[in-house]
C-alpha cells in the first residue's frame, strides 16, 4: 500500500484518520506522519480485527490507538495518543516499559515521544483465547510452564512496585507467544504509586473467572479456599509466599 513511497489516496486518508483520531485533522495527521517518517517508519500497516472509519487497526483504547508499522524492514507496533485523550502524553508508559526491558516482561521500546511509542511487535494469542481452548488437556506441561511464567512475571512487577492496573480485564493484556513464553502488554494505566496487585489480580482472573482455570483446580484436587488463603499470605514480591502458591497450584512439579 505504501511500498517505495508510492502512496495511494486511500492510504493517505487512513494515515490521517489514524494519526489524528478521532478528529480527522489533516494538518495534525500529516505532521505526525512526517515525524514518523523522519525517525524511519516507512509504512503504516492497516491490518487487524478492529477498524476506525473503515481503516483496520490492531487496537483502540480510551486514550490511544494501535497499529502495526514497518520500521527498518521489520514489523513493529505503533501506539498513538488520541487527540481526545484524558492523558497529556505517553511518557509514563514509555518510561515504565524502558524500566522493564531488563526483565523480559514487556515489549521493548524502540523510540517514543509525547504522542507515540514505537515498540516491539509481540506475536502470539491473548490469554483469553488461550484459556478458551483445552490446551491443558492436550499438553499439561506446556500449560503449567505458561502459567508459571505469567505468575512469575506478575511477581516481578509487584517486587518492582509497578501495578499494571488492567490484568483482570478481558484477558487481552497478556500474550502467549508461540514458544509458550509470556509477554505483558499495554501499560497505559500502569502506576508506580498504587499498591501493586499484579499477582493476585491475574490469579483471580485465571482460576476464579475462567472455566479452564476452575477445571484445572478440580483436576489437581485443590480448593479455592486454600488458594485464597495463600493469596492473602502473599506480600508484594515475596519469593517464599510465591513458591508456596506455585507448589499449591502444582506448577513446580515438572
Confidence (pLDDT) at 138:
72
What is the tens place of the pLDDT at every residue in 165-184? 999 888 899 999 999 999 99
CATH 3.30.200.20 segments of the chain? 3-120
What pLDDT is attached to residue 41?
97
Instruction: Give start-end residues of each CATH 1.10.510 domain in the chain.
Output: 125-248
Mean pLDDT of 87-101: 97
Long-range CB pairs of 230-233, under 8 A, 24+ apart, other chains included = 231/199, 231/200, 231/203, 231/204
Q: What is the 3-state secondary structure (H, E, C) of 146-202?
A: HHHHHHHHHHHHHHHCCECCCCCCCCCCEEECCCCCEEECCCCCCECCCCCCHHHHH
Tell me: pLDDT of 12 over 60. yes
Binning the chain into helix, strand and coil, the percentages to the nearest 5 are: 45, 20, 35
- The CATH code of the domain at 125-248 is 1.10.510
What pLDDT is recorded for position 6? Answer: 63
Q: Of residues 108 and 7, which shows the higher confidence score?
A: 108
In this structure, what C-alpha cell is assigned to residue 196?
501493586
8 A C-beta contact, residue 76 and residue 69: yes
Over residues 25-67, the pLDDT tens digits come to 999 999 999 999 999 999 999 999 999 989 999 999 999 999 9
For domain 3-120, the CATH class is alpha beta
Amino acid at each position: 500500500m505504501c511500498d517505495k513511497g508510492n502512496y495511494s489516496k486511500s492510504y493517505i486518508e487512513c494515515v490521517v484518520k489514524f494519526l489524528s483520531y478521532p478528529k480527522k485533522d489533516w494538518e495534525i495527521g500529516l505532521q505526525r506522519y512526517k515525524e514518523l517518517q523522519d525517525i524511519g517508519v516507512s509504512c503504516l500497516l492497516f491490518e487487524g480485527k478492529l477498524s476506525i472509519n473503515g481503516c483496520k487497526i490492531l487496537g483502540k483504547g480510551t486514550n490511544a490507538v494501535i497499529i502495526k508499522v514497518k520500521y527498518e524492514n521489520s514489523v513493529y507496533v505503533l501506539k498513538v495518543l488520541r487527540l481526545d485523550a484524558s492523558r497529556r502524553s505517553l511518557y509514563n508508559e514509555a518510561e515504565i516499559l524502558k524500566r522493564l526491558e531488563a526483565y523480559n516482561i514487556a515489549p521493548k521500546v524502540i523510540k517514543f515521544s509525547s504522542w507515540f511509542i514505537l515498540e516491539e511487535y509481540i506475536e502470539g494469542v491473548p490469554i483469553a483465547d488461550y484459556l478458551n481452548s483445552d490446551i491443558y488437556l492436550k499438553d499439561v506441561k506446556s500449560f503449567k510452564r505458561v502459567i508459571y511464567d505469567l505468575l512469575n512475571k506478575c511477581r516481578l512487577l509487584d517486587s518492582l512496585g509497578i501495578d499494571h492496573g488492567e490484568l483482570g480485564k478481558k484477558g487481552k493484556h497478556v500474550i502467549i507467544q508461540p514458544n509458550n513464553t509470556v509477554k505483558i502488554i499495554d501499560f497505559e494505566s500502569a502506576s508506580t504509586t498504587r499498591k501493586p496487585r499484579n499477582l493476585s489480580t491475574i490469579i483471580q482472573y485465571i482460576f476464579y473467572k475462567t472455566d479452564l482455570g476452575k477445571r484445572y483446580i478440580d483436576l489437581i484436587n485443590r480448593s479455592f479456599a486454600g488458594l485464597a488463603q495463600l493469596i492473602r499470605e502473599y506480600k508484594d514480591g515475596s519469593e517464599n509466599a510465591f513458591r508456596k502458591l506455585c507448589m499449591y497450584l502444582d506448577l513446580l512439579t515438572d
